[in-house]
Structure 1
Amino acid sequence: MTDPSTFLPTFVSVVCLVAYFLPTLSAFYREHPSRWPIFWVNLFLGFTLLGWIICMFWALSEISRGIRRANVGTAMEHRFADEEDEKLLQLRTLLSDGVITENEYDVMRQTPLSAQS
């Protein structure tokens, strides 16, 4: 059996480790596109309060912002990208609710938005 006097230090160490990597855990949970850079910055600069705060804000930042920034163009292109994101979100919801099958999801996902209107 383990010594009960080692439980509290071990528990506190695990809690501190989880708190230290909270930005990284959040980024991986949310499938942030920059999750690996967030991990590295968190690992090497997280011990400074400023580094940890930067990582936390970065991990909690809007994920789709990077997609919009990559599609530099007219306002109409941005609107189309937003509608496409909304379409994919609706399709994923229908799939997870069991309303459509995996095959239907694949077909509908590949159909251009303009063809569905």
Structure 2
Amino acid sequence: MHNPILLFSMPGGTEWLLLLIGLPLYFLPTIIAATRHHQATIGVFFLNLFLGWTFLGWIAALIWAFSYGSRATQTVIVNNSSQPYSQADNPNFSSQPQSDSSQKQSGTQQEKIDQLRQYKQLLDEGVITNDEFNKQKEIILGQ
């Protein structure tokens, strides 16, 4: 039979094991908030400390730890091109579109490929729309 006074004495082998497993599990919301660099890590800690013993308090701290700290810190990259586009940098680009008949009669297959690449680059850089690219592609390929 176990003596009730011994239950509150210094922990032995199995009690230490329970403490080593139980405390990190109890403070799991705080650990998650700290590793995610949450802005309210201290708030999550105090909620976890004082109300974590209730299941709802622990769940609330866990949800708070996984929530976003601040949406203002998000970075949105609109244009990720390494060099700005300038028509003056590209000597092969003409600002005036060629007429349908002159493009259909344009010489070699390589010229058509080069023109398509130029228009594709303009499309990727957001200078022209997808519809404009498709129209020019049809003109160049003679479809």
What percentage of residue pairs aligned between the two structures are identical?
37
TM-score, reference length from structure 1: 0.52
Task: Give the aligned partner of residue 28 of structure 1.
Answer: 34
Pairwise CA distance, 1:62: 2.7
The equivalent of 2:56 in structure 1 is: 50
Deviation per residue, 1:54-76 (Å, 9 max, x gap):
000110113443647xxxxxxxx
Report the TM-score when normalising by structure 2: 0.43
Q: Which has the higher helix share?
A: 1
- Over 3 Å counting, the alpha-carbon distance change for 1:40 and 1:66 in structure 2 is farther
Q: Kindly state the Cα deviation for residue 44 of structure 1 after the two structures are TM-superposed.
A: 0.5
Equivalence for 1:83: 77
Partner of 1:59: 65
Counterpart CA distance in 1 for 2:71 and 2:55 is 25
CA RMSD of superposed structures (Å): 2.5
What is the number of residues matched between the two proteins? 71
> Are the aligned partners of 2:39 and 2:70 in contact in 1 as well (CA < 8 Å)?
no
Cα deviation for residue 83 of structure 1 reads 2.9
Higher gyration radius (CA): 2
Aligned pair in 2 of structure 1 residues 66, 60: CA closer, same or farther (>3 Å)? farther
- Is the alpha carbon distance of 1:67 and 1:13 closer, same or farther for their aligned partners in structure 2, counting shifts above 3 Å? same
**Alpha-carbon offset, residue 46 of structure 1:** 0.4
* Residues 48 and 25 of structure 1, relative CA distance in 2, 3 Å threshold: same
Structure 1 distance, partners of 2:54, 2:72, is 26
Gaps of 5+ in 2: 1-10, 85-143
